[in-house]
Amino acid sequence: MQVFSKTSSKTPSIVRTIILILSLLLLCSCASTSQKSAQLAQQNLANDNFDAAFNQSYDALKEDIKNKDAIAIFPLSYEKVVQFHKDKIEQAKQDNSWATVADEYDRVVEVNDDAKEIVDLIQHNYKDKLSNDKKDIAVFSALTSAFSAKKEDLKIITNLDIHNFSDEKNDAHEKASSQFYEEGQKLAQENNYRDASSKFGRALSYAAGYKDAQALKEKYTKLADEADAKKYYEEGQKLVQENNYRDASSKFSRALLSVAGYKDAQALKEKYTKLADEADAKKYYEEGQKLVQENNYRDASSKFSRALSSVAGYKDAQALKEKYTKLADEVDAKKYYEEGKRLMSQKEYSLAYDQLVKANEYIYSYKDVLTLIEESKNKMPPSEQEIIKAVERCLSRDGVPVSWVGNLLGGGKTSLSAISIQRIGIFNESQQYWPMIVRVQGSSLLNDPFNKGKRVSFDRNGDFRLTRDDYGDWQAFLKGGMFQ
């Protein structure tokens, strides 16, 4: 029984120790983000960035209320940020800027709310330590000496002098509203209705329902809209007299945006939009006719198209657009077709192919263009990569010439280290191949039984013939074969 009793008396202490260890592990897991915020708070405090310093120390403690660095810095960051905004309040009062005073008090109240939240968290989480209860403190200190907050730092937070600025804040808001209200009345007397309306709106933003600010805001917004509508309407009428129908229509439209259904602005907008469209259609139509006389069919077609965009079905613009589009296509198809044929006669097959494709884009199957496209494509020289691949296949298939390895039996199991094109000849029309000189570097295993296993290096220029097979793939063959 004594053994049981002795063991039982130690159990609570062991349990508390385990709990403290688990708390320490949890503390370490939270440390990363919280510690970064605490470090940033220290940097910003040193640089007099008090708002940022306070926010970051607050974030650090919200993330980990046991962050000793944040606990140490929080009171100073609080005092600095409050004093910073109080100084701004005093300056704003001297400047008679009550909106700024109100905004600064808003910030101070926000800071105080955050500070109260942190004080409550400290009191809750350090209840035993703050009450001088020695129970488990020694064990906790032994386990967390590197992490535990100092008691004096905790006391500083819980003893923060957090003043209630609610009355000052409300007074500042009232005075800001009064100031904006008076400014609005002055602007209204000057017939500056738009800015007057804005001032009454700002008065309401600091004190909802302030006096008759809502009614005045609506009144002067309406008067400002009517003044704008009148101004745009009169500007539109002036532009009509100058025969500037497009801009006149735009002005009548803006009058309608200011006041829906203003006078006859809708009818005038539609009337002068139509007249402007007709004027544009006439202009583009006449420009198209002029371009036709200059045989510039492509641009003429574009002008007739723009006339139709201005007024659907304008005169015979549709028929003219189609006519000159067709003529322009015929002119361009002929131009590219003839240039393609000229290039083919000079054996410039790649350039010819591009020109012939363009001709076909304007008029599909123009004359024999499809045949010429296929012919020029087949006569185009292979690309560098195609040449290299074809040479690799040739030497792998047929082996290397005897002169390359200095042995009448030639070589096999060729290993190539480099292939480079030295010269490309003229396409052989009769036998349909491209002659070219290709430098080949590598090594080959001799086929000679008397030199079994001997590998010979080579660096030679090969005279190759490249031709397409029935599947359109390039094949290379050595001129003279193995005895080149």
- Write out the DSSP string of 270-286: HHHHHHHHHHHHHHHHH
CA separation for the pair 345, 242 (Å, rounded): 62
In a domain, 215, yes or no: yes
The whole-number pLDDT of residue 403 equals 83
The whole-number pLDDT of residue 143 equals 37
Asked if 398 and 298 sit in the same domain, the reply is: no
Q: What strands lie across the sheet with 411-424, from one edge to the other?
A: 411-424, 434-446, 455-468, 474-478
The whole-number pLDDT of residue 4 equals 34
Alpha helix (H) ranges present in 399-439? 402-405
In a domain, 429, yes or no: yes
Residue range 264-296, pLDDT digits in tens:
999 999 999 999 999 999 999 999 999 999 999
Asked if 34 and 107 sit in the same domain, the reply is: yes
The whole-number pLDDT of residue 480 equals 78
In a domain, 8, yes or no: no
Question: End of a domain among 127, 148, 164?
Answer: 164
Asked if 342 and 223 sit in the same domain, the reply is: no
Asked if 435 and 467 sit in the same domain, the reply is: yes
DSSP 100-143: HHHHHHHHHHHHHHHHHHHHHHHHHHTHHHHTT--TTHHHHHHH
| Number of structural domains found in the chain | 4
In a domain, 119, yes or no: yes
Asked if 48 and 141 sit in the same domain, the reply is: yes
Answer whether 217's CB lies under 8 Å from 200's CB: yes
Among residues 412, 418, 419, which one has the least CA distance to residue 456? 412
Q: How far is CA 59 from the centre of its chain?
A: 31
CATH of the domain at 225: 1.25.40
- pTM for this entry: 0.63
The residues, any chain, with a CB within 8 Å of residue 1's CB and separated by 6 or more, are none
Asked if 32 and 130 sit in the same domain, the reply is: yes
In a domain, 325, yes or no: yes
The whole-number pLDDT of residue 132 equals 58
Token pair of 351 as six digits: 């350039």
Asked if 209 and 301 sit in the same domain, the reply is: no
Asked if 397 and 371 sit in the same domain, the reply is: no
In a domain, 324, yes or no: yes
Asked if 301 and 411 sit in the same domain, the reply is: no
- Residue with token string 């079905």: 313
Question: End of a domain among 106, 130, 164?
Answer: 164
Q: Which residues pair with 412 in a beta bridge?
A: 445
Asked if 366 and 478 sit in the same domain, the reply is: no
Element (H, E) at 168: helix 166-189
Question: End of a domain among 323, 348, 378?
Answer: 378
The residues, any chain, with a CB within 8 Å of residue 150's CB and separated by 6 or more, are 68, 71, 72
Residue range 117-136, pLDDT digits in tens:
999 999 988 887 777 544 44
Asked if 23 and 152 sit in the same domain, the reply is: yes
Rg (CA), the chain: 46
In a domain, 220, yes or no: yes
The whole-number pLDDT of residue 415 equals 86
Q: Which domain holds residue 37?
A: 17-164
Asked if 129 and 190 sit in the same domain, the reply is: no
The whole-number pLDDT of residue 135 equals 46
In a domain, 257, yes or no: no
The low-confidence residues of the chain, meaning pLDDT below 70, are 1-31, 132-149, 407, 409-411, 482-484
Answer whether 174's CB lies under 8 Å from 208's CB: no
